[in-house]
Structure 1
Amino acid sequence: MHVVILTAIVVAVFTFLMLRRWRSAKQEAMPDNRSSYEAFVNADEFDEMVLKTSHKTPVMVDFYAEWCGPCRVLTPLLAGFADDYQGAFLLAKVDVDKNQQLMQRFDIRAMPTVLLFRDGESVERFTGAKLPHSIRYILTKHGIHAPKAASGGEDV
């Protein structure tokens, strides 16, 4: 009886360690497709990097979580827009698991949630992954346009 229990424990530990190793290898293999107009922001720097900056340049804040499937769809899309718009807006990424006080402060209840800040205020909010034309509409609605060379009529 003890041998069966011991064997089950060894198998469980081995399986756990293999899954953990597989997940970390998978994460390392994922390419870093961050935009040059993108920054990771935490609670300590949020006011300076987002609210203050938004007085000069609009800031789109992506509240995401590593475990969130729709976040993995939206993240490269937003980074693509940030690159295509070449600084017409900045993209700030907030990991909600590491910044729960920001999640509470801005009443974030689902991931991903995106807020657009202008002049220190949130002027737009959406939740969930969006299609490129929906994001383009939100940006245009707030006077944010891609440079002529980047807006070749194709979807991002």
Structure 2
Amino acid sequence: MHLAILTAIVVATFTFLIVRSLRRSKQAELSDNRSQHEAFVNADEFDEMVLETSHKTPVMVDFYAEWCGPCRNLTPLLAKFADDYQGAFLLAKVDVDKNEQLSHRFGIRAMPTVLLFRDGECVERFMGAKLPHSIQYILTKHRIHEPKAASSQNDAQE
């Protein structure tokens, strides 16, 4: 009886360690593919990295959860925009499961939710995955434009 319990504990511990290791390697892989204009932000650094930075450069904040299917579709799209716009805005990513206080502070009720900050204030908010033209419209509406060199390269590719 005791041997069966001990075996179950060893198997459960071993499984936990393998799953944790796989998650960490997946997170490292995802962070390696991150845009240079993108950063993960937590509650302790939010005011400085988002609100203060938004006085110089617009900051788009992606409130996401790893378990969220639409988030997995929107995240790479936002990262591509951040790269294409070459610093015209910064992309801040907030994991809602690790930063519940930020979710409460900004009234996040669904994932993904994206907020755009300018001059320390939220000037735009949308929920759910969006198509590229919708995101481009939001950026243009707030006078955030893709650099000319990048847009002419995209035109040449199409």
TM-score calculated relative to the size of structure 1:
0.83
Structure 2 gaps, min length 5: none
Structure 1 pair 128–19 and aligned structure 2 pair: CA distance change class (3 A): farther
Q: CA deviation at 1:133?
A: 0.9
Q: Where in structure 2 are the equivalents of 1:128-139 lying within 5 Å?
A: 128-139=128-139
Residue 25 of structure 1 is aligned with which of 22, 25, 29? 22
- The answer to whether the Cα contact below 8 Å between 1:73 and 1:129 also exists between their aligned partners in 2 is yes
Q: Higher helix share goes to which structure?
A: 2
Which AA in structure 2 matches 1:28?
Answer: S
Tell whether 2:112 aligns with 1:112.
yes
- Tell me, in whole angstroms, the C-alpha distance in 2 between the residues paired with 1:15 and 1:134: 46
RMSD over aligned CA atoms reads: 2.6
Runs of 4+ in 1 over 2 A off after TM superposition: 9-32, 152-155
Q: Counterpart of 1:53?
A: 53
One-letter amino acid matched to 2:75: T
Specify whether residues 131 and 11 from structure 1 end up closer, same or farther in structure 2 by C-alpha distance, changes over 3 A only. Answer: farther
Say whether the 8 Å CA contact 1:54–1:117 is kept in structure 2. Answer: yes
Count the aligned residue pairs: 152
How far apart are the structure 2 equivalents of 1:116 and 1:133? 16
Identity of aligned residues (%): 73
Instruction: Supply the distance in 2 between the matched residues of 1:111 and 1:13 (Cα, whole angstroms).
Output: 36
Going from structure 1 to structure 2, the CA distance change for 1:114 and 1:13 (only over 3 Å counts) comes to farther
Structure-1 residue corresponding to 2:86: 86
What is the deviation of 1:83? Answer: 0.6
Structure 2: which amino acid aligns with 1:25?
Answer: L
